[in-house]
Structure formats: structure tokens, C-alpha cells
Amino acid sequence: MNLDNLTSTSGEWLRANGPEADIVISSRIRLARNLSTYPFTNRASAHQKAEIEAKLRGYIEKLDFNPRLEYLNLSTVVPLDRQLLVERQLISRELANSEGPRGVGVAPNEIISILVNEEDHIRLQVIRSGFALDDAWQDADQLDDKLEERAPYAFSEEFGYLTACPTNVGTGLRASVMLHLPALVLSKHIEKVFRALQKINLAVRGLYGEGSRASGDFYQISNQVTLGKSETQIISEIRDVIPQIITYERQARQDMLRDNRHAILDRCSRAFGTLKSASMMTSEETMDLLSWVRLGVNLGLVDQITIGELNELFIHTQPAHLQKVLGKQLDSEERNSERSRFLRARLREIENQMN
């Protein structure tokens, strides 16, 4: 995989061609697995980690699955490129920042990635555009079977797939859905939604997972329980609750339009205008303004840009992407200037394509 070309493309899951893509950005399935004959990563020696990495690399490269996965040895990838992979959601921050033998197998369309020597030996993830948990699960399940033909998994009949942290044991499954909920945030109904979700044991997180802020009004909803329920049961519990949240968000959007159409139109247009003309732009402001424009497109108030193009801008304006395009390290002030330059150029390009 050529990391230098990544900044000119985007993952398939970002293209907004999946179901309910106006509100649901992506659906993700993650499976945690470990080899039965080694200590978990945190207790493995450097030598053992190297062995695990070599074995899994072999399995991943020979995996009989379409699309074929390309393997990256992360200990030889420079920090900026590792950060790039984090921003594209292909690897976790934890894997990027850890040390020692570790890697990732990535499908060229960026729908699948298999992390090696993260907290567990194997973290397999599938991301799909829109509300498509079942499709993502089907891919993950098949891929898991293929990998298991070669890799002897740590499994107990009583406790299921054994993981370094007991919060993942059993199915090892984390199913999550990324939602864009600007109207629920604006109408302050979002807290109510969270409380209801927490009551049924679902977790709510920001864009980049655990501990991250919900910038750009993006929220990730995922299961917490992994033991004592089947995979389909866990997935259906999330799948059943998402349509209600989508309905609430749509309702909140309609209410906004009915009561404050002019004010909303003004906010969306100003956001778009600022993105097209500002000369300094922080990451936070960018997320905030893009969120307004995204809402504007979905409400039919803005029509010069598509949802897919906007999704891409959320990712391509992140620090590592900007620095990768310029080919050098930038301090935060340089980044803010480069970010606005990038936005102006890209938005002009999109406008020209439309005309």
C-alpha cells in the first residue's frame, strides 16, 4: 500500500453510498482474537511479539479473501504515516503509538483492516458506509473463519474467545455505528438520547473512539456487553435502536426548518462562506463549520457540494493528512493556515466540477 497516495483518495466507507447515509456515516464491526499459544501482547516478550507478528503477517498475506489485504509493518512506518492511518480509522491510536513488532493488513478499498499486536494479537475490523451492520458482520464473520483456518485461536467453551481485557471476552465483538446528529445537539435533546442508550448498556463516544470528544456532532454508538449474548443478538440490539435515533434527528431537523428556516439557512451559508474564504482555520472550527454545511445539504439548503465530498473533507483536514500533502511537519499555526488553503482550493475545485 502506497501511503503517499492515500491523501488523494478516500475509503469506500466515506462515500456516503450506504443506507441512511445522511445521518449514519458508517457501521463498524470489530472482532478481538488471540493466538492460543502465546501470552497476550502486554505480557509477551519482544521475541514472542516478533514471532506473533511474523506468523500473523504470513496468515494475512495468504488469506483467501477478496479483496486481498496488503500488509504494513508498522514498526518501520514513520509516526506521521501512522497518524495518517489513525485519521483514516484503519488503525487505533493505541497501535500507532505503541512500540515493538506490530502491523496491519489493509484492504485497498479501506473497508477491512486487521491489526496485529494491539491489546489483543488480532483486531479484525470491517467498516461500511451508512447503516449496514449486517453487511459488515457478514464480511467480518467470513474473514474470521478464513483466518481461523490457519491461526489457532485462544477459545474456551465457558468464556468464548479469550481476550487480554475481560470487557471484550466472549464474542470479542464490538459493533458500532457513527451518527451525525447536529439537530439533536442544537435542540439539546441529545442528552436524553444518551441517557436512554446508557440504560440499555450501549456506549456513546466521539469520532475517534474511547475518550475522544464528539467534534463535528459525530457520535459513535456501540455495545458494551460481549459475553452471554450471541453476535446476532448483540448486533440486533444496536440495529433496533438506531432507527429511533434517526427518526428523532429527522424530526428535530424538520422542527428547526419549520421554526427557524431563515436563521438555519443563514448559519449554513455563513459556514460555507467561511470555509471558502478564511485564511486561518483550526481543526475544531473546521469540524464545526463542516457539520453546519453537512446539515445544510441534508436539509436542501446548500446544493453546491455532496455528502460524500463533505465526509472526505472531515478526514482530509486532519493534521497528518495536511502534513502529508505538503510533505513536511507543520506546527499548529502553519497547519491552521494550510488547512484553510486546502479547504479553499478543494471547495473551488468542487464548485467548478458542479458548474
Partner 1 sequence: MHKCERCASPATVHITEILSEGKFEEHHICEPCYPKYVHDAQNKGDGKPFGTGSPELEEALVGQQECPSCGLKFVDFRNKHRLGCPNDYQVFQTDLRPLLENIHGETRHVGKTPRRLPKIKKEEARLAECRQKLKRAIEREDYEEAAHLRDQIKTLEEA
# residues near partner 1 by CB under 8 A: 42
Name the nearest CA neighbour of 270 among 293, 286, 253, 291.
Answer: 293
Q: Does 229 bind partner 1 (CB under 8 A)?
A: yes
List the x/- string, 42-61, binding to partner 1 by CB under 8 A: xx------------------
Place of cell 471547495: 347
For the segment 160-219, give every residue that binds partner 1 (CB under 8 A): 160-162, 164-167, 169-171, 173
Q: Does 36 bind partner 1 (CB under 8 A)?
A: yes
Task: Return the residue of 50, 204, 214, 225 that touches partner 1, per CB under 8 A.
Answer: 225
Residues 337, 304: Cα–Cα separation, whole Å? 24
Least distance to partner 1 from the beta carbon of 143, Å? 13
For the segment 109-168, give every residue that binds partner 1 (CB under 8 A): 119, 141, 144-145, 148-149, 152-162, 164-167
Residues 291, 310: Cα–Cα separation, whole Å? 9
Least distance to partner 1 from the beta carbon of 217, Å? 30
Least distance to partner 1 from the beta carbon of 77, Å? 25
E strand or H helix at 221, and its extent? strand 218-223
- With b for 16 or more beta-carbon neighbours within 10 A and e for fewer, the 82-117 pattern comes to bbbbbbbbbbbbebbebeebbbbbbbeebbbbbbbb
CB atoms within 10 A of CB 4: 12
CB atoms within 10 A of CB 334: 14
DSSP string over 133-172: HHHHHHHHHHHHHHHHHHS-B-EETTTEE--SSTTSTBT-
Q: By CB under 8 A, which span of 39-47, 95-103, 182-190, 285-293 interacts with partner 1?
A: 39-47
Nearer to partner 1, 112 or 154 (CB): 154
Question: What residue ranges bind partner 1 (CB under 8 A)?
Answer: 34, 36-40, 42-43, 119, 141, 144-145, 148-149, 152-162, 164-167, 169-171, 173, 224-231, 234
